[in-house]
Chains A and B, each alone.
Chain A
Amino acid sequence: MASNFKLLPPLRLFSRQRKDRAVQRLSRIAITLPLVVTVGMVVALVMRALPITTLTSVWDFLGGKVWHPLQGEFGLFPFIVGTLWVTILSMVLAVPVCLLSAIYLAEYAHPALLAVTKPIIDLLAGIPSVIYGVWGLVVIVPGVRRLGEVVEANGLGAIPLLGTENPTGFSVLAGGLVLAVMVAPVIISVTFEVLNAVPTGLRHASLAVGATRWQTIKFAVLPKAAAGILAGIVLGFSRAFGETMAVMMVIGNVPDMPSSIFDPAYPLTALIANNFGEMLSIPQYDAALMGAALILLVVVLIFNLLSASFLHTVVGRSQQ
């Protein structure tokens, strides 16, 4: 066997300098790939979405309130509003709990608890979204329906954001709850890592001058970690924004403007997933869906860039 390799080109091919250059070249090729893919996606979507501009103005496309593509009405506004409603609600539900959990894990928790909790949280991040969807359909939707009945029975329907004519439980709230559970691991993990990156000396200094644990967290640790925590929240936000399957299964998919957390809504992602396969052969429908996909992609890109720049700031600061 060994003698066979002597027939191959000399081993000098792998001299240190050559290796160095090869790795540099390879990694340069590797880094262009994601860039090319991203740009390629945007270009392809723009090309496919372009025909929509002949049927409707960009303003009507983004701001129109009626979605009847087969009758030539392409208003995406209810979907954009639906996406914002469910995403913002999920963040309102998730962020406070996640921040407190991460603070507890990083600042107070016994190492043994940490060793048990961290893997469970990481596991939560790996569960396929369709399983969250089924769980939402079987547990969350009936739960929200019962909650709605309680709200109605106690006359709380007059409170803004609570009154509704939809008693089925398929609602923004159901979608928000499912999403909140889905984004929690992202926010907890990032926040935990950022808090852990804050130098221990800072805490010791604060404690040494007589500050309590909470004062130390509030005045020494959190300010140092703020940008990183914000980055974690933005990451969670874009995960929630782009989530499709789980939300689609519980949110009711009615293209109207919601005015209550018990109303159904219809996010952009669900619009694309619900119609893409069936409507591919109808050119104007296809173009409208591609337009929706483009909007989604652009917004998620913006949020990711924001998140990246926050992270950049915090890493930069902690290295000073």
Chain B
Amino acid sequence: MQKHTRSRQAMLYFLILLMLISGCGGAPQASGEDETEVTIAVSGAWALYPMMVRWAEEYEVSHPGVQFDISAGGAGKGMADVLSDMVDIGMVSREIRPEEEAQGANGIAVAKDAVFPTINVQNPALMELMASGITQEIFAGIYIRGDITTWGQVLGDPAITDPLHVYTRSDACGAAEVWAKYLGGMQEDLLGIGVFSDPGILEAVINDALGLGYNNLNYAFDPHTGEPVLGSVVVPVDINGDGRVDDGELLDTKEKAIEAVSSGNYPSPPARVLYLVTNGQPSGAVLDFLNWVLNEGQAFLGEAGYISLAESQLNVERDKLH
């Protein structure tokens, strides 16, 4: 009996001790005051998250004493966090809106990504589509106006009556935003069945022979083979509108897609710029890191499946930091 009570008492003291200890852990300090130990807090878009993790790994090695605290939760969360000084850097995968700039958002372009239209490999009109491509005007008819509802209308061939199953992203995201911008609208204007997430919309297209969707570079192409994910095809965008697919328009490998985006052949939008956002002008460790990203950091873009900015634009961004 006595022993029992004692052990309970010990437990009580232990619990109290535990509470005291847990109360002591401070939140990570995010300023550059302390030269030896700095934590840079980052949050925001899923689209930039893998790249940020890679950059952080490299930077922590070459700059001992700097640590990163990275979380993903959407571009809007990154923006809200950075504007309320919860984090030092927000990752934003869309254009920065005027009302955000008015609150002090300062965006530095660091990389490019692009959205590609995807269809099913078993599409009954696959050969014709791969030969003629789809123009911006037709895409707008499918996604915004809703007056194009069959694959025959896409090809201008009334003999084909197969309906077109349009898929769009249900979650608010940079990819849908930039795709809508290409077609002259906003994400809330896009028609079609809303499917959650990038892999979700790809899954829907792969399961539906008459489906049409759109995916980011890293989802449209298999990271191992560099070819479109099995079951899907990146349908060529007829950029010059001549009714046939020219050399630079057929994007059947990831390599060609990256080449088309970085050379500027693939239009922007649906290519898009990815931003790191600070609240006002960056300084201290954050400024150093952003400088590093725009210089040494650019070397890691390719292996992580991102596209570099043109050198001229990089110089514009570098100047912004001074």
Contact = CB atoms under 8 A, between A and B. Distances in A.
Given A8-B13, A275-B171, A281 B196 contact: no
A68 to B, nearest CB: 6
Contacts of A166: 193
A5 B6 contact: yes
Interface in A119-148: 133, 137-138, 141-142, 145
A278 B9 CA distance: 50
Nearest to A133: B196
A11 B172 CA distance: 61
Contact of A254 (B163, B193, B200): B193
Interface stretch (A97-105, A175-183, A187-195, A245-253): A245-253
Given A70-B186, A168-B165, A274-B171, A253 B83 contact: no
Interface residues of A, number: 39
B75 interface: yes
B100 interface: yes
Nearest to B191: A254
Contacts of B62: none
Nearest to B79: A281
Nearest to B207: A142
Given A11-B9, A282-B76, A282-B99, A252 B193 contact: yes
Nearest to A271: B170
A67 B188 contact: yes
A283 B165 CA distance: 34
B188 A278 contact: no
Interface in B1-38: 5-6, 8-10, 13
A170 B204 contact: yes
A26 to B, nearest CB: 12
Nearest to B208: A168
Interface string B174-202: 00000000000010110011111000100
Interface in B83-136: 83, 97, 99-100
Contacts of B204: 137, 141, 168, 170
A279 interface: yes
Interface residues of B, number: 39
B170 A2 contact: no
A141 B207 contact: yes
B278 to A, nearest CB: 14
A85 interface: no
Contact of A5 (B9, B76, B210): B9
Listed residue (B163, B196, B204) with the most chain A CB atoms within 10 angstroms of its CB: B196
B80 A280 contact: yes
Contact of B100 (A167, A276, A281): A281
Contacts of B208: 145, 168
B6 A277 contact: no
Chain A, interface SS category: helix
A277 B171 CA distance: 9
Contacts of B170: 248, 253, 270, 274
Contact of B75 (A70, A249, A266, A278): A278
B246 interface: no
Contacts of A280: 74, 76-77, 79-80
A202 B148 CA distance: 67
A277 B172 contact: yes
Contact of B172 (A141, A170, A279): A279
B188 A253 contact: no
A72 to B, nearest CB: 12
Interface string B66-84: 0000000111110110010
Interface in A230-287: 248-249, 252-254, 264, 266, 270, 273-283
Contacts of B195: 170, 249, 252-253
Contact of A68 (B5, B171, B173, B188): B188
Nearest to B96: A281
Contacts of B186: 70
A266 B194 CA distance: 9
B6 A2 contact: yes
B203 interface: yes
A142 B207 CA distance: 7
A281 B194 contact: no
Contact of B5 (A14, A141, A252, A276): A14
A4 to B, nearest CB: 9
A69 interface: yes
Contacts of A168: 165, 167, 193, 204, 208, 211
Contact of B200 (A13, A249, A275, A279): A249
B77 A277 contact: yes
B194 A254 contact: yes
Contacts of B196: 133, 248-249, 253, 274
Interface in B151-167: 163, 165, 167
Given A11-B5, A68-B188, A277-B77, 18 more contacts: A8-B13, A13-B9, A70-B188, A137-B203, A141-B207, A145-B208, A168-B167, A170-B204, A249-B200, A253-B193, A254-B193, A273-B171, A277-B73, A277-B76, A278-B77, A281-B83, A281-B97, A281-B100
Interface of B: 5-6, 8-10, 13, 73-77, 79-80, 83, 97, 99-100, 163, 165, 167, 170-173, 186, 188-189, 192-196, 200, 203-204, 207-208, 210-211
13 contacts: A8-B9, A11-B5, A14-B5, A68-B188, A142-B207, A166-B193, A168-B165, A168-B208, A254-B193, A278-B172, A280-B79, A281-B80, A282-B97
